[in-house]
Structure 1
Amino acid sequence: MRLTRQDLSAATEEGVLDADTAERLWRFLAQRDEARPQFRAAHILYYLGGFVAMAAFALFLGQAWESWAGWPMLVLVGSQFVLGLALTHWFLRRNLAIPAGVMLTFALSMVPLAIYSLQQGMGWWPEGGGRVADYHRYIRWHWLFMELGTIAAATVALWRYRMPFTVFLLALSIWYLQMDLVPFLFDTWQERWEMRKLVSMVAGALTLGLAFWVDVRSGRRKDYAFWLYLAGAAAFWGGLTAMNSDSELGKLLYCGINLLLIACGAALRRRVLALFGALGVAAYLGHLADLFTNSLLFPVALGALGIGIVFAGLAWQRNEARITAAMLSVLPAPLRALIERAQA
């Protein structure tokens, strides 16, 4: 439930609150929400600025790598890391948590570049291993040490600073790692493609499990799980969809898994799960439309199903409190607390 200023004004008009109490309550809530990421101009500018800074440095690398490769680039990357860390502490001293988190992530984005520069300087980078400018573009096993180092640094930073945006880089590096492991383990292109789909699905499922565990343990005061849900859902759904079974039973199972994603998204108030689930259900309905392309009864049956779902929603709304209470009563206490927090 989201509380707006209009809600407090309505409560004042109904005599539930006096005007002074409503004003003080609104100031308290606004100050409390200041550290939560929201779709506000200031927060958009914070994140946009951080992404532009990271993109600018990546562009600089693409243009200047030949003349700066090795130790000079390591010095430059190290200075950017120190600058990002200094700005993180500068913002923290002013209680500006969101720009502090953005600057910390900027500093951590220098870690894979530092590892690459160190490998270049020490002569450890293999011939034909590619340039660092290709890090975000191509899947190669040579990036593994950069990804492992970034995961380790992001984990330490998350433990030290407790900033949710740090999980963005952590989740991205985990996603890169599971993709780059496939060419490291398998030789032929066909093996790599088939295993990449399976690895993506399994790694995505494990990331979703990690996101759920973080969600249960951390609560919603600071949303550490969001980026893990996003990366996990993208990897899991992408791998699952790419498998493209020729069996109708397999396609029906695919639809069922996507319906489960929608249900989990609704229960946990995680829109990203519902979004991917909805895309999967839409893909399955598109397949059915192709399968029954010459059947006049299929659109009628599909329309009847849609109307039935609307009435099911009406029945759920009328009995939601009783059904929810019954379902929550059989769940373990941590899961029950998570769902109650999500629906509050």
Structure 2
Amino acid sequence: MKLTRAMLDEAAGQGLLDEGQAGRLWQFLVAREQHTPGFKPAHILYYLGGLIAIGAMSLFMTLGWESFGGTGLLFISICYMVAALGAVEWLRARSLLLPAGVLAAFAVVLVPLAVYGLQHMLGLWADGGAGSSYRNYHYYIDWRWILMELATLAAGAAVLWRYRMPFTVMPLAVTLWYMSMDVTEMLLGHYSLFSHEGKVMSAVFGIAMTLVALWIDLRNRSSKDYAFWLYIWGVLTFWGALSSMDSGSEFGKLVYCLINLLMIGIGAALSRRVFAVFGGFGLAGYLGHLSYTVFRDSLLFPVALTAIGIAIIATGVFWQRREAAIGASLRQWLPGPVRRLVERRAA
């Protein structure tokens, strides 16, 4: 439910609040909303500018930067980091927390570039390979990236501890994903994201990251959402790996459908849309498979599917009318911490 000033004025008119309380409450809500991420023009500009800057120093890094050499890259990245963290302090002092969080994440993204420059200074990449160019860090799997990733995680943890800004978790989540592939390559001696082993490892890693996000959710008592980016990357990694696997049979595809239905249920329970979105994509893909393969020439399949859709709508109506009682009954089966999390997010 979206609360508006008109609703508060109406409550004051009915004697539930006096006008002074309504005004103070509204000022509090407006101030709080300024620090809550949303599709506001200023917030879009914050994130757009931040992502462009982050992309420039990571995904879109050009080969021309190699001409600076290891010493030059180290010096430039340190200068960028100092400037970014200085801007973070300046913005925090003026309660501009969203742009401060974006710049804090930008500072963390610069860490692998600094470590890469230091490694080249020390001659650790003298034998070439994937590490002969920093831009390959984001495109190639190589166990030698691990030192850069460990440094990024350590620096990101320090920045997150210092500033307590949720957007800082974003580069940490991406780095953990990179590390899962590089560690696998180191242990197995080979790795391909599209091999069976690569898909299994991605799925396992996605589950692990999602569980970490849930653990953070259970322990978090503030209004800041520190688990958001871990949920995003965890679910994306798991669902992407699962969807790319060859089930080999109709039973396997049915299991895939049931997993996606479970994801939708988890998303509804935890109020996390990412589960529902990807679960919905998976369910649509399975129904498309049935339509174009299993029941390709069937006259009854569209009719049956329509009936199922209407039945789901009817279930939704039934649920809405008895939501409180059904929710309370279902929550009794959950462990205590999970039940409190569900109740807190539902509120």
Instruction: Judge same fold: TM > 0.5, yes or no.
Output: yes
User: Which residue is equivalent to 1:140?
Assistant: 142
- Partners of 1:139 and 1:10 in 2: CA distance: 60
- SS of the aligned residue for 1:69 comes to helix
Q: Judge conservation of contact 1:182–1:192 (CA < 8 Å) in 2.
A: no
1:165-204, Cα deviation, whole Å (9 max, x unpaired): 1100110101111123333334567797111100000000
* Residues 200, 241 of structure 2: 8 Å contact kept: yes
Deviation at 1:59, TM superposition (A): 7.9
Map Cα deviations across residues 198-244 of structure 1 (whole Å, 9 max, x no partner): 00000000000000010111145010000000000000001111112
Corresponding residue of 1:260: 262
Q: Note the 1:262-341 alignment, pairs <5 A.
A: 262-290=264-292, 291-341=294-344
Where in structure 2 are the equivalents of 1:242-257 lying within 5 Å? 242-257=244-259
How many percent of aligned residue pairs carry the same amino acid?
49
What SS does structure 2 have at the residue aligned with 1:135? helix
1:45 aligns with: 45
Please tell me whether the aligned partners of residues 182 and 195 of structure 1 are also in contact (alpha carbons under 8 angstroms).
Answer: no
In structure 2, what residue type is equivalent to 1:332?
Answer: P
| Map of 1:229 onto structure 2 | 231
CA contact (8 A) 1:219 1:341 kept: no
Give the Cα–Cα distance (whole angstroms) in 2 for the partners of residues 276 and 316 of structure 1.
23
Aligned to 2:89: 89
Following the alignment from structure 2 to structure 1, what is the Cα–Cα distance between the partners of residues 222 and 287? 35
Pairing 1:128–2:122 present: no
Deviation at 1:159, TM superposition (A): 2.1
* Distance in 2, Cα, partners of 1:337 & 1:18: 33
What do the CA deviations read for 1:271-329 (whole angstroms, capped 9, x no partner)?
11110100010111011112110111111111111111111111111111111111223
CA apart distance, 1:19: 3.9
Q: CA RMSD in A?
A: 2.0
Number of corresponding residues: 344
CA contact (8 A) 1:186 1:192 kept: no
In structure 1, the residue matched to 2:345 is 342
Q: Secondary structure at the match of 1:17?
A: coil
Whether contact under 8 Å (1:80, 1:107) holds in the other structure is yes
| Counterpart contact for 1:101–1:165, Cα < 8 Å | yes
Moved more, 87-96 or 138-147: 138-147
Alpha-carbon distance change, 19 to 175 in structure 1, aligned in 2, over 3 angstroms: same
Relative to structure 1, is the Cα distance of residues 276 and 61 closer, same or farther in structure 2, using a 3 angstrom cutoff? Answer: closer
Alignment partners' CA distance in 2, 1:202 and 1:106: 28
**Secondary structure of 1:222's aligned partner:** coil
When the two structures are superposed, what TM-score results if normalisation uses the length of structure 2? 0.93
Deviates more, 1:41-50 or 1:165-174: 41-50
Distance of aligned partners of 1:320 and 1:60 in 2 relative to their CA distance in 1, 3 Å threshold:
closer
Match of 2:5 in 1: 5
C-alpha distance in 2, partners of 1:87/1:40? 22
Q: Distance in 2 between matches of 1:38 and 1:190?
A: 37
SS in 2 for 1:165: helix
Question: Do the aligned partners of residues 2 and 220 (structure 1) sit closer, same or farther apart at CA in structure 2, a change above 3 Å counting?
Answer: farther
After TM superposition, the structure 1 stretch with the greater mean CA deviation from structure 2, 75-84 or 87-96, is 87-96
Are the structure 2 counterparts of residues 180 and 66 from structure 1 closer, same or farther at C-alpha, using a change threshold of 3 Å?
Answer: same
What does the per-residue CA deviation read over 1:41-99, in whole Å, with 9 as the maximum and x for residues that have no partner?
12222222212222333488414323202111111111111111111111122222212
Q: 2:218 aligns with which of 210, 213, 216?
A: 216
**Partners of 1:191 and 1:107 in 2: CA distance:** 28
**Matching of residue 157 in structure 1 with residue 173 in structure 2:** no
> Are the counterparts in 1 of residues 70 and 117 from structure 2 also a CA contact under 8 Å?
yes
> What residue identity is the alignment partner of 1:283?
G
Q: Which moved more, 1:91-100 or 1:9-18?
A: 9-18
What code does the residue aligned with 1:127 have?
G
Structure 1 residue 38 displacement after superposition: 2.0
Letter paired with 1:21: Q
